[in-house]
Amino acid sequence: MTEISRIKPLKPRASKPKTRTGCVTCKIRRVKCDEAKPYCNRCIKACVKCDGYVTKPKKGSVIRPILPIIAPDFEPILWEPSNNLIQNEGDFRYLQMFCEKTAHHLKSITPTNLWSGLMLQASERNEAVRHGIIAIAALDITSQLKTDQLPNHRCGTGTSPADPRTHYQLALREYSLAIQAMQKETSKGTLDLTTTLITCLVIICFETFHGNSYNALSQINTGLLLIEQSVAQKQDTPTSLVDGIPSSLLSRVDESLIRAFVRLDLQAMSFIGNLTRGIPNPAFRERSPLTSLHNMPTLFSSLSEARNYLELLMVRSMHSCHPDIHKRPGRRELFPRSSRKFIPISTAVVRSDSLMAAHRWHEAFQILYGLARAKKGSKDFLDATTLELYYHAMLAPLDMSHEDDMRKYVPCFQTQLALCKEILNHPIVENNQRLFAFDLEVVLPLFGIGWRCPHSETRREAIDLLLATRRQEGLWDGMMAGKITEWIATLEEEEGLGPDGCAPPRRRMLSVTVEFDVLTRTAFVTGLMPKKGEEERERVKAELSW
């Protein structure tokens, strides 16, 4: 046998794949682990400390969110960050200021993502909104620096960041850029309804914050007309109501945006003053589908639901209290002339229906109100108290047959005053000393007390609160409202008070009108007062600065 034939063929190496589940010690020693738990036997026999096993975290199951069904004509606003949005460090600081402080100041009592969410998302994709947000933040800083609330804030690239003029000039410049961008996009016809309304809201906010009520009113009515036209286009489409708002509209526009314009409609109708020529009337008409109360529940499930229906009810009641609000723009009188002692039957019927709806709302709110009021110092307490305040503020105007004798409504005014004081003394309000709020809170009810209440002590306390708080809530400036009501109260109480502490009914000032000079912050007020010892009335005038 040859030498080659004696060589045995090599056997293939046995497959012994490495285990990846052994203990830590066996892996380091490079030996086979028997994987006994909690310690392997191989380590125990070798008198080696077993370091146990490393367990890999289990991969969690991927939860896919259920996406809502979106109508074909609805273009959602998505968060699409861009590296080219912020031009410089100053813009970044203003945007940061808006996110951290200004958006919090602007949001309404009811929780909403309008300013802290929807508006910021829109700024990512729309140049006009972005410039507008920077302008509003700069204006907010200007306001706070003037009152020494922001002494150490540094923002922008100016040589004197603590100088309000630096931020004010930048606010005007950014606002001008926002208007230019909006006009450019409008001319192209590329804006959808949501973005158009958001841009409109930014302009309203800036003009209101800046004190230019006329421009703000014009933009408010522009937005309202756009919404009502959108509803009219879908009238033939079967739709349901979501807290009084047609679902066909909510499929195209975010609900918080629609609710914001409902509140702006209230401001437009409640605001005193001489409407400039060419401003259209409020769009949410008395019979508008946007003010439907047909599906109002008998028991509210949340404060947000109660707030939504109360706002629609207030719009409806405002129409019944001012039946001529849709006549041509011009000088508006807050109260009818003395010759109009009785209201028309048609108006009386509408007021009666609104009053019954208000009582139904209050009954549905009672359980929720009691639960919220039990939480002293909480946000729910504040929200519920504010809703209760506006319910009582509606009652007297709806129940009023004529304006001569207001003494029977004194208890209602006193209830409102007590609620206003609770709101102003609430820890959340006391700790947040903001000077500007986008929505109405206490200024309008306090103005109503100072204006209508004949009881001197009650109305004077309301006037003092207006003058002391220095608040501006939307179109309503607290200092302005305080100056006007103080002048009216002084004239009405000029001949003394009765045994009940009330001014005589015949001394009631009628046909009051107010015009404003925004630049000088001056109000020109006129009214009709009886001559001393006579029934005949004469026109009185005043020039009031605030």
Q: For the segment 271-294, what is each residue's pLDDT rounded down to a tens digit?
A: 754 333 334 444 455 555 555 677
Helix/strand/coil (H/E/C) assignment for every residue in 425-465: CCHHHHHCCCCEECCCCCHHHHHHHHHHCCEHHHHHHHHHH
Residue-level pLDDT at 326: 45
Regarding pTM above 0.85, the answer is: no
Residue-level pLDDT at 146: 67
Q: Per the structure block, which two tokens stand in for 529? A: 């007062």
Find which of 11-15, 122-126, 222-226, 412-416 is predicted with most confidence, using mean pLDDT.
Answer: 412-416
Lowest mean pLDDT among 103-107, 123-127, 374-378, 521-525: 103-107
Q: What is the mean pLDDT of residues 315-327?
A: 64
Residue-level pLDDT at 333: 44
DSSP code per residue over 84-109: TS--SHHHHHHHHHIIIIIHHHHS-S
d(CA 296, CA 364): 9
Question: β-strand 472-473 against 436-437: which pairing, if any?
Answer: parallel
Residue-level pLDDT at 91: 79
Residue-level pLDDT at 18: 57
- Give the torsion through C-alpha atoms of 513, 451, 393, 259, to 10 deg: 40
Task: Name, in order, each residue with C-beta under 8 angstroms of 52's C-beta and a sequence gap of 6 or more.
Answer: 23, 24, 38, 39
Helix/strand/coil (H/E/C) assignment for every residue in 370-404: HHHHCCCCCHHHHHHHHHHHHHHHHHHHHHCCCCC
Residue 102 class from Cβ within 10 Å (0-12 exposed, 13-18 middle, 19+ buried)?
buried
d(CA 353, CA 19): 81
Residue-level pLDDT at 401: 58
**More confident: 400 or 334:** 400
Answer whether residue 117 shows pLDDT above 50: yes
Task: Name, in order, each residue with C-beta under 8 angstroms of 15's C-beta and a sequence gap of 6 or more.
Answer: none
φ/ψ of residue 530, rounded to 5: -70, 140
Answer whether residue 93 shows pLDDT above 80: yes
Answer whether residue 362 shows pLDDT above 90: yes
Q: Per the structure block, which two tokens stand in for 91? A: 């813009």
Answer whether residue 76 shows pLDDT above 60: no
d(CA 191, CA 307): 31
d(CA 489, CA 470): 20
d(CA 336, CA 334): 7
Residue-level pLDDT at 104: 80
SS3 (DSSP) at 14: coil
Mean pLDDT across the chain: 77
Lowest mean pLDDT among 8-17, 126-135, 501-510: 8-17
pLDDT band at 109 (very low <50, low <70, confident <90, very high): low
**More confident: 163 or 219:** 219
Q: Where are the chain's structural domains? A: 23-55
Q: Per the structure block, which two tokens stand in for 469? A: 């708080």
Residue-level pLDDT at 398: 80
Find which of 70-74, 221-225, 454-458, 471-475 is predicted with most confidence, using mean pLDDT.
Answer: 454-458
C-alpha triplet 466, 468, 473: angle, nearest 5°: 50
Answer whether residue 3 shows pLDDT above 70: no
Answer whether residue 465 shows pLDDT above 80: yes
Residue 513 class from Cβ within 10 Å (0-12 exposed, 13-18 middle, 19+ buried)?
middle
- Interhelix angle 193-210/127-146, nearest 10 degrees: 20
Q: What is the mean pLDDT of residues 383-398?
A: 91
Residue-level pLDDT at 189: 77
Q: Per the structure block, which two tokens stand in for 106? A: 């602007």
Residue-level pLDDT at 72: 40
pLDDT band at 10 (very low <50, low <70, confident <90, very high): low
pLDDT band at 77 (very low <50, low <70, confident <90, very high): very low
Q: Per the structure block, which two tokens stand in for 82? A: 């861009």
Residue-level pLDDT at 339: 37
Residue 455 exposure: Cα atoms within 13 Å on the Cβ side: 16
Length of the chain: 546
Residue-level pLDDT at 157: 40
Helix (H) or strand (E) holding 476: strand 476-477
d(CA 81, CA 378): 36
Lowest mean pLDDT among 287-301, 334-348, 514-528: 334-348
In single-letter form, the type of residue at position 90 comes to G
Lowest mean pLDDT among 296-310, 320-334, 417-431: 320-334
Residue-level pLDDT at 381: 94
pLDDT band at 211 (very low <50, low <70, confident <90, very high): confident
Q: What is the mean pLDDT of residues 29-39?
A: 83
Find which of 163-172, 229-238, 353-362 is predicted with most confidence, using mean pLDDT.
Answer: 353-362
Residue-level pLDDT at 404: 55
- Residues 402-411 as b or e (16 or more Cβ within 10 Å = b): ebeebeebbe
Answer whether residue 238 shows pLDDT above 80: no
Q: For the segment 172-210, what is each residue's pLDDT rounded down to a tens digit?
A: 999 999 999 888 888 887 778 888 899 999 999 999 888
Residue-level pLDDT at 402: 53
Lowest mean pLDDT among 9-13, 129-133, 314-318, 482-486: 9-13
Among 270, 273, 258, 357, which Cα is nearest to 313's? 357
φ/ψ of residue 220, rounded to 5: -60, -50
**More confident: 142 or 339:** 142
pLDDT band at 153 (very low <50, low <70, confident <90, very high): very low
Among 478, 469, 452, 339, which Cα is nearest to 400's? 452
Q: Per the structure block, which two tokens stand in for 370? A: 């009691």
Q: For the segment 427-454, what is each residue's pLDDT rounded down to a tens digit?
A: 888 777 667 888 888 999 999 999 889 9
The answer for 329, left when phi > 0, alpha when psi is -120 to 50, beta otherwise, is beta
SS3 (DSSP) at 539: strand
| Alpha-carbon distances, residue 374 vs 310, 368, 382 (angstroms) | 21, 10, 11
Residue-level pLDDT at 445: 94
- Give the torsion through C-alpha atoms of 396, 448, 374, 356, to 10 deg: 20
Answer whether residue 113 shows pLDDT above 90: no
- Give the torsion through C-alpha atoms of 264, 267, 269, 275, to 10 deg: -100
Q: What is the mean pLDDT of residues 101-120?
A: 78
- Interhelix angle 193-210/213-233, nearest 10 degrees: 160
Q: Per the structure block, which two tokens stand in for 500? A: 């009940």
d(CA 26, CA 45): 12
Residue-level pLDDT at 422: 95
The answer to whether 144 and 436 have CB atoms below 8 angstroms apart is no
